[in-house]
Structure 1
Amino acid sequence: MTTPLTIETSGAIQVWTINLPAVGNAITDNGFIAALENAVDIVNSDTAVRALILTGAGKIFSAGGNVKEMADREGMFGLDPIDQRYAYVDGIQRIPRALARLEVPLIAAVNGPAVGAGCDLAMMCDLRVASERASFAESFVQIGLVPGDGGTWFLQRAIGYERAAEMTLTGDRIDATTALEWGLVTRVVPHDELLSAAIDLAERIAKNPPHALRMAKRLLQESRTGLLESTLGMAAAMQPLAHRDAEHERRIEKWRTRS
């Protein structure tokens, strides 16, 4: 039986690979959703893991929904509207909820097309590195749908309202160069160098103390929508914990003796 999400660990870094190439790495599969949730929960309880990379098997990062199942009205796509509403809540919307509670920095290594919910999945990651073969499309409207997985929330926070509106309302695809210009990704690299570039970035993150990393990520996430005063309050509560961390004490002493 195919494992929908493969996990490889090297030191403090894990590489998660969507392993459903036969269906374009579609993420509407319940097996994949459950595997992702399980991986999140395991990593959250393991402070030895300090950085994660998410990529796709084969030539596609993710095609998002399984279009064949949609066309054939199979699975959740064959339900009546009321039941289908709850199928979204209990299905693909579990992905953004799981990644929202993920405490470890997550890098998307976009190896090819990221389409529809696949594009949104990349936006749910903290950082994005793209192969020159990558492309991005918020393509829902082209098949008469809307982003059902939270894409309208994530995309505009990555590239601003106007560009998110252009992608969402046209459904047009943008290439890796445009994605870089728009700030959708932080860098574009030759295809054969994608994973090594993502690992290099992960290593730069993973060299830092785990508790400080997790708290810094939480502050970043809360700052997206929170008020300044609430962010200041959270930072004031977290900082004393960081000051008392043994790793901070070791590093500040090393810094002091160096200067």
Structure 2
Amino acid sequence: MSKHPVLLEISDRIATVTLNDPERRNPVTGNDMIAVLLETFAKVQADPQVSVMILTGADPAFCAGGDIKEMNDPDSVFRKEPLAAAQSYVDGVQRLPQALYNMDIPTIAAVNGPAVGAGCDLTMMCDMRIASEKAKFGEVFLNLGIIPGDAGSWFLLRRLGHQKAADLTFSGRMVGAEEALELGMVLELVPHEKLMGRARERAAVIAAKPPRAVRVAKRLMRNAERMDLPDFLNSAAAYQALMHQTEDHHEAVAAFIEKRKPNFTGR
């Protein structure tokens, strides 16, 4: 495996995070991938110069999910008593959905190849997905006699609705890029060589917005998933009152009136 299982590049308010264990198709177990991803996500979240994150994999795959060979190892935690195995999920892969869900910046999965099991779920944890023609998706846990232990079902239901999520979960079948587009799993399908360029184009649109407003809008969307309408309206009113006091809001209004391009500073 590469000395750097996760690569991070930050440019023009866009963070690009690349899973970088291509020889093994970028699995999230059997290596240091989870720990380094968590460190990387925390760094990106804490950086006020970042407004949007792209998550992708080093070719030829996006992410192979869990390492099946590790599951077959009699000394692995999966073969030990159930409480230890459950705790390994809590302390390990289940920290990924928590980290991505709690990020205040929008996230785009640029799916460059197969995204299988936990890899498929990782794409669903992002706000948006753009797929290469080489992308494939598989919620394959039942094929191995296990279930999505990483919050995959929680995200899949919200992204696709019950019926489509049930089909993919219970069949364990692989979905090609074109069908993924039809199902609404991805926002857009592009030629493989244009994937990252297109992802950066979409990210650049977000990065051009007022940085604080972007993060607050993401928080508001997160609140909308779990609040009833009265509580949500109170939350929206409070956030909006704060936004009216920002320098970027004043600059946006002035630029609109003066018919010029705004200069946002994140203040």
Q: Calculate the TM-score normalised by the size of structure 2.
A: 0.93
- The question of whether the paired residues in 2 share the 8 Å contact of 1:30 and 1:91 is answered with no
Q: Which runs of 4+ in 1 moved over 6 A?
A: none
Tell me, what secondary structure is at the counterpart of 1:128?
strand
Rounded to whole Å, the distance in 1 between the matches of 2:18 and 2:75 is 25
- Cα deviation for residue 74 of structure 1 reads 4.7
One-letter code aligned to 2:156: L
CA contact (8 A) 2:116 2:139 kept: yes
Shift of 1:47: 1.4
2:62 alignment counterpart:
61
Q: Deviations over 1:119-150 (max 9, x none)?
A: 00000001100001101110000111100000
**Displacement of 1:42:** 1.8
* Aligned 1:4-15 pairs, distance under 5 A: 4-15=5-16
Q: Could you list the per-position Cα deviations for residues 87-120 of structure 1 after superposition, in whole angstroms to 9, with x for gaps in the alignment? A: 1101100101111211111100000011111000
CA-CA distance at 1:231 after TM superposition? 1.5
Q: CA deviation at 1:247?
A: 0.8
**Which digits, 9 at most, give the CA deviation of each residue in 1:169-206, with x for residues without a partner?**
01011111111111110000000000000000000110
Partner of 2:175: 174
CA distance in 2, matches of 1:237, 1:35: 35
Counterparts of 1:74 and 1:11 in 2: how far apart (Å)? 46
Unaligned runs of 5+ in 1: none
- The 8 Å contact of residues 2 and 19 in structure 1, kept in 2 or not, is answered as no
Deviations 1:31-81, CA, capped at 9 Å, x for gaps: 222222222222222211111100001211001101111122453323221
SS of 1:72's equivalent in the other structure is coil
CA RMSD of aligned residues (A): 1.4
Contact 1:128 1:186 in 2 (8 A): yes
Q: Does 1:231 align with 2:232?
A: yes
Classify 1:42/1:230 alpha carbon distance in 2 versus 1 (closer, same or farther; 3 Å): same
- Contact 1:109–1:198 (8 Å) recurs in 2: yes
Q: Percent identity?
A: 44
d(CA) in 1 for partners of 2:70, 2:217 = 40
Find the aligned partners of 2:7 and 2:30 in 1 and give their Cα distance: 15
Task: Work out the CA distance in 2 between the residues paired with 1:149 and 1:105.
Answer: 20
Q: TM-score, normalised by structure 1?
A: 0.96
Which ranges of structure 2 fall in alignment gaps of 5 or more residues? Answer: 261-267
CA distance in 1 between counterparts of 2:46 and 2:120 reads: 28
Instruction: In structure 1, give the amino acid aligned to 2:21.
Output: L
**Matches of 2:126 and 2:74, distance apart in 1:** 30
C-alpha distance in 1, partners of 2:79/2:230? 47
Q: Mean alpha-carbon deviation: is it higher for 165-174 or for 230-239?
A: 230-239
SS at match of 2:72: helix
- Corresponding letter in the other structure for 1:255: F
**Aligned 8 A contact 2:125 2:155 in 1:** yes
1:76-115 equivalences in 2 (<5 Å): 76-115=77-116
Cα drift, residue 29 of structure 1: 4.6
Report the alpha carbon displacement of residue 233 of structure 1 after superposing the two structures with TM: 1.3
Which residue number corresponds to residue 158 of structure 2?
157
